[in-house]
Amino acid sequence: SYSSKYSFLSSAVPPRFPVRGYGFCMAALFCFCFLSLLFQLNGGPPKILQDIRQYLGKSTYLDDHGPPTLKVLPFPSQVVYNRVGKCGSRTVVILLRLLAEKHQFNLVSADIHNKTRLTKHEQVDLMNNISSIPQPFLFTRHVHFLNFTRFRIEQPVYINIVRDPINRFLSNYFFRRFGDWRGEQNHQIRTPGMKDDERYLDINVCILENYPECSNPRVFYIIPYFCGQHPQCREPGVWALERAKQNVLDNYLLVGILEELEDVLLMLERLLPHYFTGVLNIYKSPDYKKMGNMTGTVRKHTPTLEALQVLYHRMRYEYDFYNFIRDQFHLMKRKIGLKSVSQPPAYSPAFLRDLSRRTPEPLNENEELDTEDLEDANSWLVKP
Q: Which residues are catalytic?
A: 142
- H or E element at residue 319: helix 316-336
> In whole angstroms, what is the distance from residue 244 CA to residue 240 CA?
6
> In whole angstroms, what is the distance from residue 277 CA to residue 291 CA?
20
Residues 318/223, Cβ–Cβ less than 8 Å:
yes
Single-letter amino acid, residue 56: L
Question: Residue 231: helix, strand or coil by DSSP?
Answer: helix
If one counts every other C-beta atom within 10 angstroms of the C-beta of residue 286, the result is 6
DSSP string, 3-49: HHHHHHHHHHSPPP--HHHHHHHHHHHHHHHHHHHHHHHHTS--HHH
Which candidate, 287, 293, 284, 288, places its Cα nearest to that of 266?
A: 284
> In whole angstroms, what is the distance from residue 146 CA to residue 347 CA?
34
